[in-house]
Amino acid sequence: MPRALLYVILLIGGLAMLFPFAWMVSTSLKPDLAVFQTPPQLIPKPFQPSNYSTVVHIFPVWRFLLNSALVAVISTTLQVGTSAMAAYAFARMKFRGSGTLFLLYLGTLMVPFQVTIVPLFIEMKYLHFVNSYPGLILPSIASAYGTFLLRQAFMSLPAELEEAAFVDGAGHWTVFTRIVLPLVRPSLATFGVLSFIASWNSFLWPLVIISSQKLMTLPVGIANLQGEHLTAWNLVMAGTTISVIPIVIVYLFAQKHIVRGFVLSGVKG
């Protein structure tokens, strides 16, 4: 395929991917009536940036942002930690039934979250974690996908490095923290970003476990902008744009690590 044709195809694909985001920002800057204007216009006329101040005024958006950031950071930290330790055990600590146990662990990826949401809620209720930060965070502290991703990265490392450390008297914890983890930083960053995005965008579980507005995360808070009979879509899009900005910033800072992490992990799209 000629290089010029390849660039054209990539450009068309990129524009197709970016168009929904452009339309979201455009809608967030339109007056109420202009949202349903025919034919639709990508460039708002008139331009109404006051939608953002209106959203901040009628809803505690900064509180929602703080809740989302707190839950996402803690959840991501715990997921990366537990997944890295489990991945090291499956990759380097051979024990009877490890292969079968790993397959069973991966099998949980095929169970939809909607199937487990009722047992999880009952469990959180007995633990008295309903409508609380622990209730938001605890169900997401482990990840089978993260374990698989990091296990692939650990298995790509030469075993001689660890064997030399064992000869010098190092234990598994020393090898794990001082040798293995520094060598797979791109994979850790990749999973960290993916976990952060998933936690930030999580809607169903916060909707079920939280009823207090003080504890609502941003996706649930934005959903409350939809009225019973009429929805101000320009305000909804303004709130959605606010929620997307932190994700874009995180991805832009970590995109090199994400690409490298997938290469080192052997995971291909």
User: Is residue 266 scored above 90 in pLDDT?
Assistant: no
Please give the pLDDT value at position 263: 61
Average pLDDT, the chain: 85
Average pLDDT, integer, range 6-19: 88
Cα 115 to Cα 128: distance, rounded to the nearest angstrom:
21
Average pLDDT, integer, range 192-220: 90
User: Is residue 193 scored above 70 in pLDDT?
Assistant: yes
For residue 173, the tally of other CB atoms under 10 A from its CB is 10
Cα 238 to Cα 231: distance, rounded to the nearest angstrom:
13
Helix-helix angle 61-92:185-201, to 10 degrees: 140
User: Is residue 228 scored above 50 in pLDDT?
Assistant: no
User: Is residue 68 scored above 90 in pLDDT?
Assistant: yes
User: Is residue 99 scored above 80 in pLDDT?
Assistant: yes
Average pLDDT, integer, range 128-150: 91
Cα 138 to Cα 220: distance, rounded to the nearest angstrom:
18
Alpha-carbon distances of 177 from 52, 181, 214, rounded to whole Å = 45, 6, 38
> Which stretch of 11-15, 155-159, 200-204, 251-255 has the lowest confidence by average pLDDT?
251-255
Domains and CATH numbers, the chain: 1-48 (no CATH), 56-265 (1.10.3720.10)
Average pLDDT, integer, range 35-52: 83
Please give the pLDDT value at position 265: 54
Cα 168 to Cα 150: distance, rounded to the nearest angstrom:
26
Percent of the chain whose predicted confidence (pLDDT) is above 90: 28
Please give the pLDDT value at position 234: 85
Please give the pLDDT value at position 259: 67
Cα 176 to Cα 153: distance, rounded to the nearest angstrom:
13
Which residue from 85, 254, 261 is spatially nearest to 188, judged by alpha carbons? 261
Please give the pLDDT value at position 227: 58
